[in-house]
Structure 1
Amino acid sequence: MSSQKKRNFTIEAFKHRVVVDPKYADKTWKILEHAINEIYNHNASGLSFEELYRNAYNMVLHKFGEKLYSGLMTTMTSHLHEIANSIEVAQGEVFLDELNRKWTDNNKALQMIRDILMYMDRTFIPSTHRTPVYELGLNLWRSTVIHSLKIQPRLQGTLLELVHRERIGEGIDRGLMRNIIKMLLDLGSTVYQEDFEKTFLEESAAFYRGESQQFIESCDCGDYLKKAETRLNEEIERVSHYLDSKSEAKICNVVEKELIENHMHRLVHMENSGLVHMIVNDKYEDMGRMYCLFRRVPNGLPFIRDVMTSHIRETGKHLVTDPEKLKDPVDFVQRLLDEKDKLDKIIHTAFNNDKTFQNALNSSFEYFINLNPRSPEFISLFVDDKLRKGLKEVSEEDIEIVLDKVMMLFRYLQEKDVFEKYYKQHLAKRLLSGKTVSDDAERSLIVKLKTECGYQFTSKLEGMFTDMKTSQDTMQDFYDNMVGGEASDYPSLTVQVLTTGSWPTQASITCNLPVEILGVCDKFRTYYLGTHTGRRLSWQTNMGTADLKVTFGKGQKHELNVSTFQMCILMLFNNGDRLTYKEIEQATEIPAADLKRSLQSLACVKGKNVLRKEPMSKEVGEEDAFFFNEKFTSKLYKVKIGTVVAQKESEPEKQETRQRVEEDRKPQIEAAIVRIMKSRRVLDHNNIVAEVTKQLQVRFLPNPVVIKKRIESLIEREFLERDKVDRKLYRYLA
């Protein structure tokens, strides 16, 4: 038992011996307090940190942690009051330097104190839910120094004043600013926000509100945007140098709102410098800047996109409806292409290839190009001009570029079938006259059209090329089959045999061919019909050409390239030098309109006047007389005499083409209705119209009225029937 007591005594002995000393805690704290004072007074070099740590350890171990913690708070607070006083008396620019120096010293002191009291930090503080030593030091610094009534407003004012000075171009100590801002952040994000950021943003808004007003009154749009961009970049740079990174979005929002959002409408519509002025004058840099700045604010891009769209539509509408600009179809299309190139470059260069801007451009072009019902005809005439072999030699690469651009316009057309009608006519003339720039270019365009619209769109066009190739073989065979020297007895003849379904349907215009020609034509007819059974041949004299060898007054010889009609007229002058209009008309039986154009080409075009006309005038009248022009001269041996003809169709021709297009559409609309009804069985009127429109819009935009008529026709022919209850509901009859 005694040994047990002894054992108990030895366990308790050391503790009780220390604890019973009532002066132990005070003595130990005095040692630690002295050390803390020395640390604050920069005399820490003589201290034994190991001994101090052990003292603090023992105080906590022996339950004097509360005394140690409260003593620490009192001592630190006392020193911080002294520090606050020294900062308060600092005047002018020394104020921030003093604050920064004291803050640096305080941080070092805190770290040393934390090291000494590490055991308290690890055991006493978590168990009693107290604030850790370092954090306690920061809190006391915040409440005693930073939130001192004499320091807090002064600190905020000084920081804001330095920012303002930097904004107006003065230099400041950014390193010092960075340290002070970092101090606020180290004291907690709310300290930074409440003591600086909140007021900083408010004052920035006021500053930029005033500055934007000055700018808007004195600058044009381009200069204003440059200044706004500069200010935005300055604020971003300022954040990177000494503000919290989270402040970037906030200050940018302030600048964007005050400099951009609040003045959007005025900037975009600014007279002689706004967006439309930039577009017209190719101000790519200014537009790019506008795009980048406006994309930062709500509804900024939709707003400039709408203004751009409105301008494009207005400009385009003027372009396609101005009578002066419609006089030359080729120039008309070239203007469209130039406008598209210009706007494409703007969207690519200035608007960052923004898809929404590209879509707006496309919808605008589609809108105004279809305002002119003759756009399909004009685009085909433009293609004809580029693919027709002329004086200028064009490289294949250049032709491909032009064709790609034409296809871009073609996509905008709602009446693609109208283009097809004209294109077929123009292609036919190029092929038959041998004036196409190259078969490769022609086929390239057909491939593009097929890709865009499908095989059905181009099958007949491809048939035209097939006919041309077959005709070459036919002619070769025809001459190979002529007996002996028979071929030399007749003028040389080249015939193109055209399949009726593939080529443009035209009323067969005949004329009385010269006797010299009739013989070889009959020979060919006999040969062809003998080779191919069940076929009919019909001469299309309005589509042919001829080469005539002519000798003029002084024995001067020329070879004239003329139309078949012109050949028939000129051959009459082999039997007489003077013929009246009536005599020519009676002898050739060429229709009046074609006859007048042919005579006008032969007698009224300077440098091509192989005939003379009396009375001399630009127009051909029925009372005119014509003479062979013995005095005709030309520097060229071969002289091509074109037919004077309007590039565009005459009004009756236009009406006829339109009528043919409308007739061709009827079976296509009916076929679409039947396809839809066959799969759907029952459908209401509005849905049929929507489905038909969707199916056919690749070729043309069908008129709902016409669709209704085709439905009525199908009901009459018992393909469909109306529902007995709901008259707008249709059923398919199998």
Structure 2
Amino acid sequence: MSSQKKRTYKIQAFKHRVEIDPKYAERTWKVLEHAIHEIYNHNASGLSFEELYRSAYNMVLHKYGETLYTGLVNTMTWHLKEIAKSVEAAQGGLFLEELNRKWVDHNKALQMIRDILMYMDRTFVPICHKTPVHELGLSLWRDNIIRSSKIQTRLLDSLLDLIHRERTGEVINRGLMRNITKMLMELGSSVYQEEFEKPFLELSASFYSGESQQFIESCDCADYLKKAKGRLFEEMERVSHYLDAKTEAKLTSVVEKEMIANHMLRLVHMENSGFVNMLVHDKHEDLSRIYNLFCRVPEGLSTIRNVMTSHLRQIGKQLVTDPERLKDPVDFVQRLLNEKDKHDKIISTAFNNDKTFHNALNSSFEYFINLNNRSPEFISLYVDDKLRKGLKEVSEEDVEIVLDKVMILFRYLQEKDVFEKYYKQHLAKRLLSGRTVSDDAERSMIVKLKTECGYQFTSKLEGMFTDMKTSQDTMQEFYASQSSEIGDGPALAVHILTTGSWPTQSSAPCNLPAEILSVCEKFRWYYLGTHTGRRLTWQTNMGTADIKATFGVGQKHELNVSTYQMCVLMLFNSADGLAYKEIEQATNIPMSDLKRCLQSLACVKGKNVLRKEPMSKDISEDDTFYFNDKFTSKFVKVKIGTVVAQKESEPEKQETRQRVEEDRKPQIEAAIVRIMKSRRVLDHNNVVTEVTKQLQSRFLPNPVMIKKRIESLIEREFLERDKTEMKLYRYLA
């Protein structure tokens, strides 16, 4: 393959200078100047654009570009000054129309001129750093028309007047407005901003400042917001029709500042119509409007969020501290749930599900729900009411919804361990009395608690269910072993409760009827014979009994009663009337329990299987009781409840609180040891902080108690104080 050398070519200038007629440039320019005049005078149809282009081309080629360019500037300037006179002469509303017409003509003329001078535009202009023809035409229009002393102010006033008239309800020529503002934009963003936008925004601020003041004096909050929203929409629409898109943010900012930001506090606090009024009366549409408007201004959302928080804390505080409301724990919790549902709905529908508002709602509930130290007890009582089998049947789905809602309140509790204490007591009563809605519902609640607080929180609750199942199996085995010995005597069902899992009960001795006692003894011998090293203690205060009773002329009923009530009723098998003292001596039931027991048997309408003399609602030690032969009921089975307060009495409350405090001590100590084991050396304040952080999911430990537990650990040589720094602790391995 042969390679050839690359040849290079060089173009050289003519050896002899080409002579040009000295008057060539002048003659050629006269032709081009005449053409420009004809174009502006609308006589371009007779021109030969090809010849004109060639003439302009030759002028640039023969180094007369400067002459051509200067002539263009002068000729266009002369025409624009004539146009300015024509525009200035236009009267009234014809002024803008004339300006627009001349602008359209100028643009057409400019297009033709640029076509003729295209060669100059592409070669001479960039080399000599001149302004291109089109931009030159725009800048000359700007300087000679728009910034003409007799046009400039008049143009601005005309535009602003039209906008004002439109704002006050008149219909204007939007197409003309669009053409004029588009002209200003084409002349350059600075022209649009200086000649129109800046004064327009200033006038808008003044207009809306006055209008907002007028509205706020005559409207309520909802009406004012409607007007503000309407004005905001109008201005955005105005931009879309005839203003620069970039003006929208600036214009809406003016409206927002004048109509919303400057009046925020007055609006939200308006009497009988402000933000709180909207919350109280569930005005979702108005609330949505105030949210959407206030979110547009700085500090807008924080303003209404603070008002909502303040309002919530106020009504919440009233709710949890009102003595009347505290009389019914179930109603107390239901009111809390209703408030939560109400505000959740407001936030989701009106506040765009704003997370910051949800956080404010949660912090408010956490604040006021913990103002009442009985909230854990009341929430447990509420769950007890919903999970206890009553007259009305409730679907599992409804129970699940209620439990989910209760868990939200539970999360707000700072003393979750107190709730655990009460929940354990209430669960025990439901399980032992067989009055639970369903095992599935009970286990569902335990799963929710475990998810929230961990395994340790629910381990004892789960142990209670295990005991119930074990008890059923044990009773089956007992009756299987005693089948030959058990005749027509009373049937016994025993629940064997593991001491650590179930709530501790103060068990006072009670004298059981002889028939019952013999069966109990048989079970005791059987159970202790099959399980070595165990001890049984009868909890007679926790039991129930079904007994058959005959009244009057052979009317038979089956009575469901507590063990204490059974002991009392069976005394009347051998006596018609018994004094209070006799019943007390025969049964050995504690006084407070006995009085409640007798009250439920003799003083409750429809359940009075005993009658009392003298008749009264309260039980006295001088009362005498008789079997009520005249008792009737439309039910064969009659449940006789025990008259007992739902809430704890003050001594019981103190006892529960004391047990809680005792249970907290080992938890605090365990947390201190865990922390010190990993950190080895730590100062007092950091120990308190770390312990609080670890335990806050169950309760908020008191710093004084933490200090006492540290002292106890030092005494038992788990920790020691630093020799030089007393507030510094060291872990002793």
TM-score, structure 2 as length reference? 0.98
Q: How does 1:424-443 map to 2 (within 5 A)?
A: 424-443=424-443
Shift of residue 483 of structure 1?
Answer: 4.3
Aligned letter for 1:324? E
Match of 2:617 in 1: 618
Match of 1:419 in 2: 419
Paired with 1:111 and 1:574, the residues of 2 have a C-alpha distance of: 122
Aligned letter for 1:158? S
Is 1:564 the counterpart of 2:563? The answer is yes
Match of 2:670 in 1: 671
**1:539 aligned counterpart, secondary structure:** coil
Match of 1:156 in 2: 156
The one of 12, 22, 30 equivalent to 2:16 is: 12
Compared CA separation, residues 576 and 24, structure 1 to 2 (3 A): same
Tell me if structure 2 keeps the 8 A contact 1:313–1:367. yes
**2:608 aligned counterpart, secondary structure:** coil
Paired with 1:444 and 1:425, the residues of 2 have a C-alpha distance of: 18
Structure 2: runs of 5 or more not aligned: 1-11
Aligned letter for 1:45? S
Aligned letter for 1:391? L
Shift of residue 294 of structure 1?
Answer: 0.8
Paired with 2:130 and 2:720, the residues of 1 have a C-alpha distance of: 90
Paired with 2:311 and 2:609, the residues of 1 have a C-alpha distance of: 52
| Per-residue CA distance 1:619-638 (angstroms, 9 max, x = gap) | 10101100110100111110
Compared CA separation, residues 649 and 113, structure 1 to 2 (3 A): same
Is 1:48 the counterpart of 2:48? The answer is yes
The CA RMSD measured in Å over matched residues stands at: 1.1
| Per-residue CA distance 1:503-529 (angstroms, 9 max, x = gap) | 001122220000111111111111111
Q: How many residues align?
A: 722
| Per-residue CA distance 1:99-137 (angstroms, 9 max, x = gap) | 111100100000100110111111222222221111111
Aligned letter for 1:516? E
Shift of residue 23 of structure 1?
Answer: 2.0
Compared CA separation, residues 483 and 199, structure 1 to 2 (3 A): closer
The range that moved more, 578-587 or 66-75, is 66-75
Shift of residue 489 of structure 1?
Answer: 3.8
| Per-residue CA distance 1:482-502 (angstroms, 9 max, x = gap) | 142x22242011111111111
Shift of residue 71 of structure 1?
Answer: 1.2
Q: How does 1:166-205 map to 2 (within 5 A)?
A: 166-205=166-205
Shift of residue 174 of structure 1?
Answer: 0.9
Structure 1: runs of 5 or more not aligned: 1-7
Shift of residue 11 of structure 1?
Answer: 5.2
Paired with 1:204 and 1:428, the residues of 2 have a C-alpha distance of: 72
Aligned letter for 1:442? E
Match of 1:705 in 2: 704
Match of 1:3 in 2: none
Q: How does 1:180-579 map to 2 (within 5 A)?
A: 180-484=180-484, 486-579=485-578
Q: How does 1:591-670 map to 2 (within 5 A)?
A: 591-670=590-669
Paired with 1:9 and 1:350, the residues of 2 have a C-alpha distance of: 82
Match of 1:69 in 2: 69
Compared CA separation, residues 35 and 554, structure 1 to 2 (3 A): same
Paired with 1:675 and 1:59, the residues of 2 have a C-alpha distance of: 96
Paired with 1:10 and 1:681, the residues of 2 have a C-alpha distance of: 98
Compared CA separation, residues 99 and 569, structure 1 to 2 (3 A): same
Paired with 2:68 and 2:657, the residues of 1 have a C-alpha distance of: 104
Runs of 4+ in 1 over 6 A off after TM superposition: none
Tell me if structure 2 keeps the 8 A contact 1:510–1:542. no
**1:502 aligned counterpart, secondary structure:** coil
Paired with 2:159 and 2:38, the residues of 1 have a C-alpha distance of: 33
Shift of residue 78 of structure 1?
Answer: 1.1
**1:487 aligned counterpart, secondary structure:** coil
Compared CA separation, residues 34 and 602, structure 1 to 2 (3 A): same
Shift of residue 404 of structure 1?
Answer: 0.3
Tell me if structure 2 keeps the 8 A contact 1:83–1:102. yes
Paired with 1:617 and 1:104, the residues of 2 have a C-alpha distance of: 105
**2:497 aligned counterpart, secondary structure:** coil
Paired with 1:12 and 1:295, the residues of 2 have a C-alpha distance of: 80
Aligned letter for 1:589? N
Match of 2:692 in 1: 693
| Per-residue CA distance 1:670-718 (angstroms, 9 max, x = gap) | 1111111111111111110001111111111100000000111111111
Tell me if structure 2 keeps the 8 A contact 1:381–1:426. yes
Aligned letter for 1:263? H
Shift of residue 590 of structure 1?
Answer: 0.1
Paired with 1:462 and 1:127, the residues of 2 have a C-alpha distance of: 92
Paired with 2:93 and 2:214, the residues of 1 have a C-alpha distance of: 31
Paired with 2:140 and 2:731, the residues of 1 have a C-alpha distance of: 89
Percent identical among aligned pairs is 79
Tell me if structure 2 keeps the 8 A contact 1:722–1:728. yes
Match of 1:92 in 2: 92
Paired with 2:686 and 2:67, the residues of 1 have a C-alpha distance of: 89
Shift of residue 283 of structure 1?
Answer: 0.8
Tell me if structure 2 keeps the 8 A contact 1:696–1:702. yes
Paired with 2:509 and 2:376, the residues of 1 have a C-alpha distance of: 30
The range that moved more, 603-612 or 287-296, is 287-296
Aligned letter for 1:212? S
Paired with 1:66 and 1:367, the residues of 2 have a C-alpha distance of: 83
| Per-residue CA distance 1:303-336 (angstroms, 9 max, x = gap) | 1111110110011000000000000000000000
| Per-residue CA distance 1:646-677 (angstroms, 9 max, x = gap) | 00001110000000000000011111111111
Aligned letter for 1:81? K
